[in-house]
Chain A
Amino acid sequence: MASIPSKLYSDDVSLLMLLLDTNPFLWTGANTTTTSLPFPGFLTHVLSFLNSILLLNQLNQVVVIATGVNSCDYIYDSSSSLQKTADSSENGRMPILCSRLLSKLEEFVIEDERLSKDDSPEGIVSSLLSGSLSLALCYIQRVFRSGPLHPQPRILCLQGSPDGPEQYVAIMNAIFSAQRSMVPIDSCVIGAQHSAFLQQASYITGGVYLKPQLPDGLFQYLSTVFATDLLSRNFLRLPKPVGVDFRASCFCHKKTIDMGYICSVCLSIFCKHHKKCSTCGSVFGQALGDTSSTDRKRKTPET
Chain B
Amino acid sequence: MAAGQVVMRAKYKTSVKDPGIPGVLKMTWDKFIFTPNDPRSSGKLDVGFKSIKGHMFSKEGSKKALLNLTQYQGGGYIFEFDKFPDRDVCRDFVGKVLGKLQSVVPSGQDAKVVSERSPATVQDEQLSPEEMERRIKLLRDASELQKLHKEFVITGILTEAEFWATRKKLLDVDGSKTSKQRVGFKSAMLADVRPLTDGRTNKVTFSLTPEIIHQIFAEKPAVHQAYLNFVPSKMSEKDFWTKYCRAEYLHRTKNAVAAAAEAAEDEELAVFLKDDDILAQEARQKIRRVDPTLDMEADEGDDYMHLLDHGILRDGIKETTDLQYELYKRTLSQDLNRHAAVVLEGRALEMELGDTRTVAEALARSKQAELATKISDENAYQERLERASRMTEIEDLQAPRTLPFAPLCIKDPREYFDSQQANALKALGDAVAGTRPMNCTLSTEEAYGSFRELISEMRAAGLSDPVVKPEVSLKVLNGLTQHLSSTKYNLGKSAQESVLDTLPKSTKEELLHHWTSIQELLKHFWSSYPITTSYLYDKVSRIKDAMSHIYPKLQEIKESVQSDFRHQVSLLVQPMLQALDAAFAHYDADLQKRSTRSGDRPNGFV
Contacts and interface: CB of A to CB of B under 8 A. Distances in A.
Nearest to A49: B467
B304 interface: no
Sort chain A's interface into a size bin.
35 or more
Contacts of B409: 280-281
A106 interface: yes
B437 interface: yes
Contact of B476 (A41, A102, A116, A214): A214
B420 A44 contact: no
A136 B579 CA distance: 48
Interface string A110-121: 101100101111
B468 interface: yes
B373 interface: no
Interface residues of B, number: 68
A128 to B, nearest CB: 15
Interface string A179-200: 0000000000000111011011
B419 interface: yes
Contact of B416 (A116, A196, A199, A268): A268
A165 interface: yes
B444 interface: yes
B459 interface: yes
Contacts, number: 219
Contacts of B606: 298, 301
Contact of A221 (B427, B476, B490): B476
B558 to A, nearest CB: 24
B400 interface: no
Interface string A207-234: 0000011101111110011000000000
A99 B451 contact: no
Interface stretch (B21-29, B233-241, B274-282, B478-486): B478-486
B439 A30 contact: yes
A45 B468 CA distance: 8
B467 A45 contact: yes
Given A224-B477, A280-B411, A29 B433 contact: no
Interface stretch (A3-11, A78-86, A248-256, A286-294): A248-256
Interface string B416-459: 11111111111110100110111111111111101110111111
Given A24-B450, A212-B476, A165 B417 contact: yes
B464 A44 contact: yes
Given A29-B450, A165-B421, A217-B475, A239 B484 contact: yes
Nearest to A249: B423
A105 B475 CA distance: 32
Nearest to B416: A279
Given A40-B458, A110-B452, A221-B476, A266 B428 contact: no
Nearest to B457: A40
B442 A28 contact: yes
Given A44-B467, A48-B467, A123 B437 contact: yes
Nearest to B452: A109
Determine which residue in B423, B436, B445 has the highest number of CB atoms from chain A within 10 A of its CB, and name it.
B423
Nearest to B439: A30
Contact of B455 (A106, A251, A265): A106
Interface in A90-127: 90-91, 93-94, 98-99, 102-103, 105-106, 109-110, 112-113, 116, 118-121, 123-125
A56 interface: no
A145 interface: no
B483 A239 contact: yes
Given A25-B438, A25-B440, A166-B414, A48 B463 contact: yes
A213 B418 contact: no
Contact of A216 (B421, B446, B469): B469
Contact of A217 (B413, B464, B473): B473
Contact of A119 (B426, B439, B444, B468): B444
Interface in B318-346: none
B296 interface: no
CB-CB nearest 9 A-B residue pairs: A165-B417, A196-B424, A249-B423, A93-B462, A24-B451, A217-B476, A245-B427, A24-B447, A220-B476
18 contacts: A24-B448, A28-B450, A29-B450, A39-B451, A39-B455, A44-B463, A44-B464, A105-B455, A106-B456, A119-B445, A168-B417, A194-B430, A200-B424, A218-B468, A266-B410, A279-B416, A280-B408, A280-B410
